[in-house]
Structure 1
């Protein structure tokens, strides 16, 4: 095995690893050292923003720095994300809000501001694309990068380029990221979660099988709770058991997926970093404090959601030809209704009108605990709200919406409101 190389994540110096239990950079004395024999040879990375929503809120309000922060809303909603302080209390993403507040009653709860988070996500994404065109976004706050062949462009090995990128994000955007570096996507994603927050971890090809052997099979991509239970019942509870298994038996247990699982268990993953990953839909939803049945009470809530959806479409760079209504009943049964073939739009008024048509048909006295509105058939915003002889009002509505957005940007969201939000439910 090649000798290990040490990288200082503060001064970016490369050197031989320092000896001792708590090594420090030979150049600047920093303890933020990453050392690995394959460090300068690896080029596939997974970058994950740390507690993304919560970190942005703490950046924008320094008084929150040492406080537990939960992004979510309402005791019947769920946690979107939380900061690392809140996690020490046992709070986790997707946890019901009432459980999160029971665990951490002093938490500061902030409702999500998706338009702001999307804008910050785009800033980070732009910096990623300064490193390589091979960026595959997985969500608003994480992506795979392939930095193969970029050493001459950046004058440094991919590991150094990634450490420089993490410093730049922290300095210019004010949030932190964790980096996983590996020979493939599967291992890179695992690595990025090993040293959070503000981490940098490496998993090399030579150690991959041994590293994975004692981990549960649920760590493998595509293995959910049901598949994990089925594999465990067949004697495959650990990744190492799959790696050592006869391929024919794996196929008998897992079907055609068996050979894929064996390759992953051995640390092999042939998937490429795909730079194009199309957004399929954009949506906004809310869970109510109390069940609501009346259309008149649901309308102002739908309007608020339509405004959020319009803002998210604008931030993502889309318009839509399709509106989807989502309702969840008291017994957790889900209803989705779609209105397709609409003239392309990004206006809250048009989104609301379509959503209300669908909502009115569903208001039959059934109490609902959740309401959502989404845009499914996404399109270029240049095609939207242009108006024609059949729809001469669209340009005027768009100008009005742009003027309201400008006022809100200057004076806050409450500066201009429609009368509907003053009604019960708004």
Structure 2
């Protein structure tokens, strides 16, 4: 960026590392530097991320692995190493916090920053500080990133996607409507694939079409989200950069009246707890990749076991499945007085549970869970109950939750 009319006036940034998982793997193995690389596989058999060389061949995130290898048969495939990625992400996050205390993480490899008032501290404008920052993490950590600079979070996030990789894009307030107008409605924060199809069915395909509509009309058609469409389509976003995003995890646990050692007795209790965690995630519009099982033995020794999922989830079905496999390995005759389940590495809900083309039953279970949620919202939690969770309620009365 050489010049921009508002360059020295803008202070809200979105920083997004480029093909983060793949970049970490290439950094750690120089032999992979010039080859197409896919990070993924595992139980779901899908692409978690891929390098930009692989993207030239049409590979993309969430693509089934067999399709990715059909498109790019020479690609190297590596299973995700979430612990390593988390370490690198935390190192970059600490460098962000050295720029400003107003850092709002969005995921392991991206965050919003508000650099308002930091000119004296850094002896530079926010734009200059950000340029120095991304040069520094590439030189010192070996990871490149793209920057979006704008007057608000919505425009900053859009800008960071415009020229990846190693992009530095600016969207000013004066040009916002012009820049947004030709973009598809799916580029608006909160508009997922299902809602985008609904808008397109109503004849609304571009953000420019939304700009011509009255807020009252959009509200009448789409409720509260219609008002958001009206604001964001004009580039207006009043959300602040919040350094604390609330809870880092969502979890629940229960203590038994008498110790339990049986896997079959613990399973329904774990399912019941998974449903509670799932409900809280859904109500908070959150999802997460990290699943943690907590157990406390009869002699008060705490045991935690964790697993990372390929995609963030908010479904009880997936939370329970991961927790159950962890539990099975620990039920070896020991008696437990407490069990808990939690979800961490939280992300926005719109990233959760992408369609699994390799497991059609997973999509059916997802739809069934959504239907059950609607019935419970209308008639109460006891309106629909699985046989497994009913067993949990009748088998043992917990002391606390």
Q: TM-score by structure 2 length?
A: 0.65
Q: CA contact under 8 A between 2:14 and 2:149: conserved in structure 1?
A: yes
* Secondary structure class of the residue paired with 2:249: coil
C-alpha change, 1:147 and 1:229, in structure 2 (3 Å) is: same
Q: Measure the CA separation in 2 of the matches of 1:262 and 1:335.
A: 35
Of 201, 205, 223, which aligns to 2:173? 205
Q: Distance in 1 between matches of 2:307 and 2:93?
A: 28
Matched residue SS, 2:127: helix
Q: What are the within-5 Å matches in structure 2 for residues 243-258 of structure 1? A: 243-258=211-226
Question: 1:98 & 1:184 partners in 2: Cα distance?
Answer: 40
> Which has the larger helix fraction?
2
Q: Work out whether residues 191 and 203 of structure 1, in 8 Å CA contact, stay in contact via their aligned partners in 2.
A: yes
Choose which of 280, 296, 308 in structure 1 pairs with 2:249.
Answer: 280
- CA deviations 1:78-128 (Å, max 9, x no partner) are 111100000001000111111111111111111111111000000100000
Q: How many angstroms apart in 2 are the aligned matches of 1:47 and 1:63?
A: 27
2:229 to 255, 261, 268: 261
The Cα RMSD (Å) is 3.1
Q: Secondary structure at the match of 1:35?
A: coil
Which of 305, 315, 320 is the aligned partner of 1:337? 320
Query: CA 1:156–1:335 in structure 2 vs 1: closer, same or farther (change >3 Å)?
Result: closer
Deviations 1:355-387 (Å, cap 9, x if unpaired)? 6659xxxxxxxxxxxxxxx95077xxxxxxxxx
Q: Which residue of the partner structure matches residue 106 of structure 2?
A: 138
What pairs up with 1:34-183 in 2 under 5 angstroms?
Answer: 34-74=2-42, 77-183=45-151
CA separation in 1, counterparts of 2:111 and 2:170? Answer: 16
| Structure 1: gaps of 5 or more residues | 1-32, 283-294, 296-307, 311-318, 327-332, 341-349, 359-373, 379-426
- SS of the aligned residue for 1:79 comes to strand
Measured after TM superposition, the shift of residue 236 of structure 1 is: 2.1
CA distance in 2, matches of 1:75, 1:88: 26
Residue in structure 1 matched with residue 154 of structure 2 by the alignment: 186
Checking the alignment, whether the CA contact within 8 Å between 1:72 and 1:110 is kept in structure 2 is yes
Q: Cα distance, 1:171 vs. partner?
A: 1.1
Q: 2:104 is paired with a residue of what secondary structure?
A: strand
The structure with higher relative contact order (CA 8 Å, sep 6+) is 2
Q: CA deviation at 1:260?
A: 1.4
Q: Deviations over 1:19-38 (max 9, x none)?
A: xxxxxxxxxxxxxx442111
Superposed displacement of residue 145, structure 1: 0.4
Structure 1 CA distance for aligned equivalents of residues 2 and 250 of structure 2: 39
Q: Secondary structure at the match of 1:337?
A: helix
| Larger Rg computed on CA atoms | 1
Residue in 2 that maps onto 1:228? 196
Summarize the Cα distance change of 1:323–1:63 in structure 2 as closer, same or farther, 3 Å threshold.
closer
Deviation at 1:354, TM superposition (A): 6.1
1:271 aligned onto 2:239: yes
> CA separation in 2, counterparts of 1:339 and 1:67?
33
**Structure 1 residues 152 and 69: alpha-carbon distance in aligned structure 2, compared to 1, 3 A threshold:** same
Q: Secondary structure at the match of 1:138?
A: strand
The verdict on how the C-alpha distance between 1:281 and 1:58 changes in structure 2, with shifts beyond 3 A counting, is farther
1:324 CA displacement = 9.4
CA distance in 2, matches of 1:338, 1:97: 22
